[in-house]
Amino acid sequence: MSRRLALGRDELTSLFSRAMSGQPAEPHPWLGAATGTLKTTTVEVNLDEESADGAMARLAQLGKSLGLDLRLTEDDSIALLRGDAGTLVVDVLDARFWLVHTIGHAEFAHDVLRSALRRNRDLDWCWFPRHLVEDFRTAGDVRWFKTDFEGDELTPSEGQRARRLRVQLDGDRAYDLLRILESQVDYRHAASLTALAVHVTEPKVGHVLEIADYKGRFAARGDSFEIHVGLVSNLVRRYSTYVRELEQRYALGWTSEADGGASLSGEVIVMPFRKTVDDMDRFLAGLFSCREPFRLWGVPRRMNERYLSVQAVDLHVGAQLPMDVSPDGLRIYLHQGACGNTVTRLLANLQHRYDATLDMPQVSITN
Amino acid sequence: MRATLGVGAFWIPSLRSGAASCARITLVVRNERSVRVPQNAACLDPRLVPLNATIGLLRGDGGWPRPLGALGYRLHRVEIPVTASATGRLVVVDVMAVRDAPASIVVVEGKSGRDIKDSQARGYAALETNDVRRVTRVPDGPVRVIYACLESGLEDIRSRLADIGVSVNLLSIGEKRARLEPVSGSEELEFDVELPSPPPRLIPVDDLSPDEEYRELLVPGIVEFQAKGKDSVTVQTLCDHSIPLWGSFGQRFSARVRERATGVLVAVSLTKEFKGQFRVETKGGDLADNVVHILRTPASLQAQGETQGWQALQRRAETVLRGRRRPVPPGQLSFEDLARAEKVGEDE
């Protein structure tokens, strides 16, 4: 491995801040050409051992398999992955939730990450539940939002007031339109929150126009990397807490006790539907189609006229996710050692494909 | 009533196969009158419905009411052996719950049939606080015994308990309701609650569950390791991932579960649907070395082919598990896709 680059967090903050404002005009020797927008993608990485060293070792493997050149920096938790088409700056300060920045073209970062996630079962997007994206609007003035709801696969072709809904609004108080949609009983289930843009100004610091989407992707323009990374970190931290709470509080596990009995820890996760399932066959066929984005394999077994049990397999991570399905909701049995991201992926995608108002009321999102 | 002698413990919920439970299970009278299992629990091994339901009523899992939990009881142990010092009789308590204030211990025996074992019932009735406290740390309170029965078996069990002069609390589990009939002195336990759903599947199988219940867990277990892209997996690891409680009830229980799992896996591997997908290699008499070799996995295919591969595997599993394939709803017309394809409503 080549020696470390003379690059630390201070330099990167300065470089990113300038790149976000469209400077410099000349390509940077290590980061490449700037497009004027800083893109940050959050990625969840399941390491055997959650440490900066473990993260760096995994990053090195990934770089090799992707044909990218790994360059370490002065900072133990930051490294560069360089290819012909661009450079990714990978921040593994949180060894499980990585921040991947690029000042280059979004296609490069997206293609590399999509390829990496597809090939590696220990990597996943961060799937922000609606509440998390929604709370992002409090960071500044909402300038734009996007709704992209696709209910075709899970709902019948007839009798639906909204099977697909695509709306985006760019303008002052843009969020008011989403509120109007949400207030309509017939359409609120389709009023998903796919992405949001806010303008954030911090006196004496700078300003940022920040876009965030439900797959943990961000794009920022402005003049302050500090503001950008603060927004990203806040969301990722809350997401991390949410995922860890899922795993720590809800993962079910039996433990053999010294007295000869066994004790049970964890809880069954309940995901109640406000919109009841009218066509269960279609819902099941869509949910367990093995296709993106759910990537769930399963053979439903009827329990009674309303309930079905499914010993589902999450094909993305290669883990079982047993659940019971009824027209009124899901009961999910997260096993000990399973990844909470599997549940957030299910929730976020159901919010975009079945009911935007869906939630897991048991599980709180902390500030 | 016709009854026959049968070998095994067909009606007796047991999660253990250790010495303790061997003492209580050798030859049992098998009642041939069918017991009606609540329809809402048809996906569970019927023998395990009372256990799962009791745990549900304690913890409120999966949206269930928790009348026992509301009284302050919490699940303490499952399958814990306790000897009633007064009789010298060992009973393996299916579910034990405790409450700190006022201190109280609840011991539950699950009954999925119509019969009881007289000596076992007497053993339960004779349990004292110190009998329990000798084996596990529990609050110093009275012991209350509950027989958790399916609604359809309740009257026979009530009658038999009365015949032998044993008085215990009776929990009846039906399709729509659960009702606890307390004995004198345990009136606070009384409840009658509506059940919104089947019991949460916290204990899906035990060592006595039928093969079909094992198949339901093990076929997805194989798929999990196919998805992981593994070449092989030991039966032990497969059990770890597919039968969550298998390692928690002692070595003999684990060994029996592993043996059952191996038999089921071998049988599935020989079906025409799964032949060529995986095979089971058994090594001598050492069950710990049984290995499942994954022969094929859609995970090795390119994106489009991979999805189709998983779907094909799903159809195979449907045939093995359900005996038929689920009809696939017809595809739907997307106006957005149609408009895009036909260049209608699109800018140049």
Q: Where are the beta strands (DSSP E) in chain A?
A: 38-45, 69-72, 78-83, 86-91, 97-102, 123-125, 141-150, 164-170, 195-202, 206-213, 217-222, 253-256, 262-265, 269-272, 296-297, 301-302, 308-314, 319-326, 329-332
CB contact under 8 A, A313 and B55: no
In 3-state terms, what secondary structure has residue A23?
Answer: coil
Q: What is the DSSP string of B255-273?
A: HHHHHHHHHHHHHHHTSTT
Q: Where are the beta strands (DSSP E) in chain B?
A: 3-7, 27-31, 74-84, 89-99, 104-111, 143-150, 169-173, 177-181, 191-194, 232-234, 278-281, 291-294
B 11-50 near A (Cβ less than 8 A):
15, 20, 39-44
B 197-226 near A (Cβ less than 8 A):
197-198, 200-202, 216-217, 219-221, 223-225
Mean pLDDT of B310-324: 93
Q: Percentage of chain B with pLDDT > 70?
A: 85
Condensed to tens digits (0 to 9), the pLDDT of residues B55-113 reads: 999 999 999 999 999 999 999 999 899 999 999 999 999 999 999 999 999 999 999 99
One-letter amino acid for residue A232 of the chain: V
Q: Give the pairing of strands A217-222 and A38-45.
A: antiparallel
Mean pLDDT of B327-332: 72
Cβ atoms of residues B60 and A247 within 8 Å: no
Cross-strand partners of B280: B292
List CB contacts (< 8 A) between A118 and chain B.
303
Instruction: Supply A33's token pair.
Output: 């050409």
In 3-state terms, what secondary structure has residue B60?
Answer: coil
> Looking at the predicted structure, is the pLDDT value of residue B120 above 80?
yes
DSSP-based helix, strand, coil % in chain B, nearest 5 = 40, 20, 40
- Cα torsion A19, A21, A27, A33: sign: positive
A 102-161 near B (Cβ less than 8 A):
118, 121, 152, 157
Q: What is the DSSP letter of A104?
A: S
* Mean pLDDT of the residues in chain B: 85
Name the residue among A115, A4, A121 with its Cα closest to residue A56. A4
Residue among A147, A167, A299 with most chain B CBs within 10 A, to mutate = A299
Instruction: Supply B11's token pair.
Output: 């009606």
ipTM of the complex: 0.92
Distance CA A274, CA B338 (A): 30
Distance CA B223, CA B237 (A): 13
Mean pLDDT of B127-153: 96
Distance CA A22, CA B76 (A): 62
List CB contacts (< 8 A) between A309 and chain B.
43, 198, 201
Out of A272, A284, A333, name the one closest to residue B201 (CB).
Answer: A333
Distance CA A294, CA A329 (A): 16
> Looking at the predicted structure, is the pLDDT value of residue B53 above 70?
yes
- Put simply, whether B322 touches A (Cβ < 8 Å) is yes
| Nearest-CA distance A94 → chain B (Å) | 25
Can you list the pairs that B30-34 forms with residues at least 24 positions away whose Cβ atoms lie under 8 Å? B30/B3, B30/B4, B30/B5, B30/B6, B31/B1, B31/B3, B31/B113, B31/B114, B31/B115, B32/B2, B32/B3, B32/B4, B33/B1, B33/B2, B33/B114
Helix boundaries (H) for A197-339: 225-245, 280-287
Q: What is the 3-state secondary structure (H, E, C) of B61-128?
A: HHHCCCHHHHCCCEEEEEEEEEEECCCCEEEEEEEEEEECCCCEEEEEEEECCCCCCHHHHHHHHCCC
Name the residue among B175, B116, B191 with its Cα closest to residue B147. B116
How far the first Cα of chain B sits from its last, in Å, is: 82
Distance CA B277, CA B273 (A): 8
Matching residue, tokens 């009798």: A159
Mean pLDDT of B297-314: 92
Q: What is the pLDDT confidence band of residue B36, given thresholds at 50, 70 and 90?
A: low
| Nearest-CA distance B64 → chain A (Å) | 10
- What are phi and psi for residue A340, nearest 5 degrees? -65, -25
Cross-strand partners of B89: B84
Cβ atoms of residues B158 and B135 within 8 Å: no
Condensed to tens digits (0 to 9), the pLDDT of residues B207-254 reads: 899 999 999 999 999 999 999 999 999 999 999 999 978 878 777 888
* A157 to chain B: closest CA residue: B332
CB contact under 8 A, A263 and B311: no
Helix boundaries (H) for chain A: 9-20, 52-66, 106-119, 130-136, 175-183, 225-245, 280-287, 340-353
- Put simply, whether B227 touches A (Cβ < 8 Å) is yes
Instruction: Supply B338's token pair.
Output: 């149609």
Average confidence (pLDDT) per 10 residues, chain A, 367 residues: 84 94 82 92 94 94 96 96 95 97 94 93 95 91 96 89 95 93 95 96 95 96 96 96 94 86 91 94 95 95 92 95 96 93 96 95 64
> Looking at the predicted structure, is the pLDDT value of residue B11 above 90?
no
Instruction: Supply A132's token pair.
Output: 């998390």
Which pLDDT does position B38 carry in this prediction?
Answer: 54
Which pLDDT does position A364 carry in this prediction?
Answer: 64
pTM: 0.89
Name the residue among A129, A39, A73 with its Cα closest to residue A346. A129
Residue among A157, A254, A328 with most chain B CBs within 10 A, to mutate = A254
